[in-house]
Amino acid sequence: MLRRFDMEGKTRTLAVDTRTLQTKILPLPKRTMSCRPDSRYRRLLRLAGSPPYPLQNDGITHGKHGLYLTTDLCPSSKKGFEKRLYEAIIHRFSHAVPVTLFITKRWIDRHPAAFEMLRQWDANGFLAVTWGNHTAWHHYHPGRPLEENFVLSPEENLTEDILTLEKALLERGVTPSIFFRFPGLISNKKAVHTVTHLGLIPIGTDAWLAKGQRPKEGSIILVHGNKNEPKGVTIFLKLLREGKIGKLRPIEEIY
């Protein structure tokens, strides 16, 4: 059990299956729900929260088999979203396509129609979405050093930022996952411990396509679905057409 909250006059919990890493909304249990220290979830939580705590790209950056598609939905003033990306994978595969959306509340608030389309693709079985946490506000200050930027900004309250996004998803009928991505992939030891203390798994990348990194077996692919970085989407679509994007796996199968 990760969270306890009230919904429609009833107390609910956000719980994680420690074997599958799937989250569910459940009634408040009559007894305490415990988690074995050697469970798959606990092992991954320890791995993600261990040293050396690099400034950039901390967390799980590579999986075991296949490819893991993650798309970041950071705040954006651009209209619409990278519809071409999601439609391409829907048309390419004959099953619900696993994709992790690392989403922000500021993006949802500004792009309600795009958010609803993604939610419907998930509900209708075209996509199998894992709703990842990218914070509610995604603070960013152009020109400021990385050590004082993104979640390391002086005004950041990371716990509140994470929980605000979870509440926004729950209010819209979406179940938050246990997966988290640091805005800008910037963090420090304190930030990592804040995330893992909340029961979330930080996810990095070893294939940020717009930065020239190319996917290999087990890669966590990063592209932006908000039109802020079209280069990465164009590269992904080219790889897809060339048959270089094989089996896409849900992030829950990473280890």
Q: Mind listing the pLDDT tens digit for each residue in 37-67?
A: 789 999 999 999 999 999 999 999 999 899 9
How high is the pLDDT of residue 226? 98
Contact 35, 45 (CB under 8 A): no
Report if residue 128 sits inside a domain.
Answer: yes
Whether pTM > 0.95 for this model: the answer is yes
Provide CB contacts within 8 A for 48, sequence distance 6+. 59, 60, 192, 196, 201, 202, 203
Letter for the amino acid at 67? L
Tokens of 160: 């509140």
The 3-state DSSP class for residue 34 equals: coil
Report if residue 24 sits inside a domain.
Answer: no
Query: Radius of gyration over alpha carbons of the chain, in Å?
Result: 17
Return d(Cα 8, Cα 75) in angstroms, integer: 29
How high is the pLDDT of residue 32? 67
Report if residue 18 sits inside a domain.
Answer: no
How high is the pLDDT of residue 29? 83
Interval 112-127: pLDDT, tens:
999 999 999 999 999 9
Report if residue 205 sits inside a domain.
Answer: yes
Return d(Cα 91, Cα 250) in angstroms, integer: 18
CATH of the domain at 236: 3.20.20.370
Tokens of 120: 């419907």
Number of domains the chain contains: 1
| Token pair 């391409």: residue | 88
Report if residue 239 sits inside a domain.
Answer: yes
Structural domain of 229: 49-253
How high is the pLDDT of residue 34? 64
Cross-strand partners of 100 = 70, 130
In what helix (H) or strand (E) does residue 160 lie, and over which residues does it extend? helix 158-171
Return d(Cα 223, Cα 94) in angstroms, integer: 22
Return d(Cα 246, Cα 72) in angstroms, integer: 21
Report if residue 122 sits inside a domain.
Answer: yes
Return d(Cα 141, Cα 77) in angstroms, integer: 16
Report if residue 173 sits inside a domain.
Answer: yes
Report if residue 27 sits inside a domain.
Answer: no
Residues of the chain with pLDDT under 50: none
